[in-house]
Amino acid sequence: SPLIRERTGLVIDSYFSGTKVKWILDQVEGARKKAEAGDLLMGTIDSWLIWNLTGGALHITDVTNASRTMFFNIHTLEWDRELLTMFNIPISMLPEVKASSEIYGNTSPEIFGREIPISGIAGDQQAALFGQMCTQPGMVKNTYGTGCFMLMNIGEKPIISQNNLLTSIGWQVNGKTHYILEGSIFIAGAVVQWLRDSLKIIDSSGEVEELACTVEHSDGVYFVPAFAGLGAPHWNQHAKGTIFGLTRGSTYAHIARAAIESIAYQTMDVLKAMEADADIKIKELRVDGGATVNNLLMQFQADVLNTVAVRPKVIETTVMGAAFLAGLAVGFWSDISEIEEIWESERRFEPVQDRTAIDKGIKGWYKAIKALEYWTREN
């Protein structure tokens, strides 16, 4: 595990490709024999798409996707032969690793009626980071969806996290590789879905902000939505969802507000871990994803972080990032600075709430996390 952590920036987990590929080779009859003969290949979803789009002409991936396999050395930017030997994976299975922005080849003319250049590859969240134009060290974006995915650009040298975060590759463009720290939050927007579908205190997700705004604060109610355990930086797989601080005066509105605030508190936990690892104090948080339409959440996020939260004009930033990478390769944009000039924010949320009240709320959140940790102990 320490070797994998140092070489790949990842932890051993079935979330990544490595353990699953090994299982297939070990458990599926004939799989290893086919792999060794060159008749069975592996790759991430981008490899499969490109293989099919080119009629089997290209078996490639980019550095961002390769860095999520547990086989890729993020320091040398090559497949790590020692790790491949440890996992017993034939290197002949693996795709050729490319940059994130270059012309790799063309689609088969049978698919679209003509050849179209394939010119950009990136993982989902890395594309979102690029779409947010977080191009300088210390720039951070958080995607608010069912869960949250926060990425920080840490520049051209990797930092292996000491605070339970992942280190990975953000992109490689024009020969320069940018590295990232990543923290995943399992439950974010999903807590609103739970309020809707299980508690049935709202009829639609969009109603949660209106309900929460009927009270000025959560009145000491804290919601830790650990329905699937707690993600970064806590990594408590045994944690359960809990609500603390209920009184006879607590209402649906207080629970709804506590649910919204839990998303911001979890984001704060990840961001503090990032700042500690990178030794950087961020200047702003760029936000995207469906939950960013919730203005109460965005304002509370800015208040908790004591940092500006910036919502872009286009919140589908993964798509924008993919377009930017492809456009650079084909010459639609001449360089990254040209793209930075066209990136626009829709709204900036400045911290406004009284700091004493915010600090009291943060203290209560930490108390709730500690209580949850105690609850999940085996003995």
What distance, in Å, lies between the first and last C-alpha atoms of the chain? 27
315/335 same-domain check: yes
Mean pLDDT to the nearest integer, 119-144: 97
Per the CB < 8 A criterion, the answer to whether 59 and 4 are in contact is no
Of 75, 105, 120, the one marking the end of a domain is 120
Of 102, 120, 138, the one marking the end of a domain is 120
Q: How far is CA 262 from the centre of its chain?
A: 18
Dist. CA 126–CA 318, nearest whole Å = 8
10/137 same-domain check: no
pLDDT greater than 70 at residue 12: yes
Tokens of 247: 């009184």
Of 66, 88, 120, the one marking the end of a domain is 120
Could you tell me what percentage of the chain is helix, strand and coil, using 3-state DSSP and rounding each to the nearest 5? Answer: 40, 20, 40
45/136 same-domain check: no
pTM recorded for the entire structure: 0.94
Confidence of residue 282 (pLDDT cuts 50, 70, 90): very high
**CATH number where 313 lies:** 3.30.420.40
- Other beta carbons less than 10 A from residue 221's beta carbon: 25
Place of tokens 């919730």: 294
Instruction: Tell me the residue type at 314.
Output: V
The count of structural domains within the chain is: 2
Mean pLDDT to the nearest integer, 104-131: 97
177/269 same-domain check: yes
Confidence of residue 182 (pLDDT cuts 50, 70, 90): very high
Q: What is the DSSP string of 167-193?
A: EEEEEEETTEEEEEEEEEES-SHHHHH
293/315 same-domain check: yes
Confidence of residue 306 (pLDDT cuts 50, 70, 90): very high
133/216 same-domain check: yes
242-244/222-224 β-pairing:
antiparallel
Tell the burial category of 144 from Cβ atoms under 10 Å away from its Cβ (0-12, 13-18, 19+).
buried
**Which value, to the nearest 10 degrees, does the dihedral of the CA atoms of residues 49, 52, 57, 63 take?**
10
The residues that bridge with 141 in the sheet, in sequence order, are: 151, 286
104/163 same-domain check: no
Per-residue confidence (pLDDT) for residue 14, from 0 to 100: 81
pLDDT greater than 80 at residue 378: no
The residues that bridge with 182 in the sheet, in sequence order, are: 151, 166
Confidence of residue 377 (pLDDT cuts 50, 70, 90): confident
Mean pLDDT to the nearest integer, 289-311: 97
284-288/140-144 β-pairing:
parallel
Phi first, then psi: give them for residue 356, nearest 5 degrees: -65, -45
Mean pLDDT to the nearest integer, 53-61: 98
31/89 same-domain check: yes
33 lies in which domain range? 2-120
User: Which residues are CB-contacts of 49 (< 8 A; sequence separation ≥ 6)?
Assistant: none
Instruction: Tell me the residue type at 47.
Output: S
233/98 same-domain check: no
Dist. CA 143–CA 286, nearest whole Å = 9
Mean pLDDT to the nearest integer, 197-211: 97
pLDDT greater than 50 at residue 110: yes
The helix (run of H) or strand (run of E) holding residue 102 is strand 101-106
Confidence of residue 85 (pLDDT cuts 50, 70, 90): very high
Dist. CA 27–CA 87, nearest whole Å = 14
56/171 same-domain check: no
Per-residue confidence (pLDDT) for residue 379, from 0 to 100: 47
pLDDT in tens, 256-279: 999 999 999 999 999 999 999 999
Mean pLDDT to the nearest integer, 5-10: 96
89/170 same-domain check: no
163/253 same-domain check: yes
- Considering only 5-9, 10-14, 166-170, 194-198, which range has the smallest mean pLDDT? 10-14
pLDDT in tens, 239-259: 999 999 999 999 999 999 999
Mean pLDDT to the nearest integer, 149-177: 97
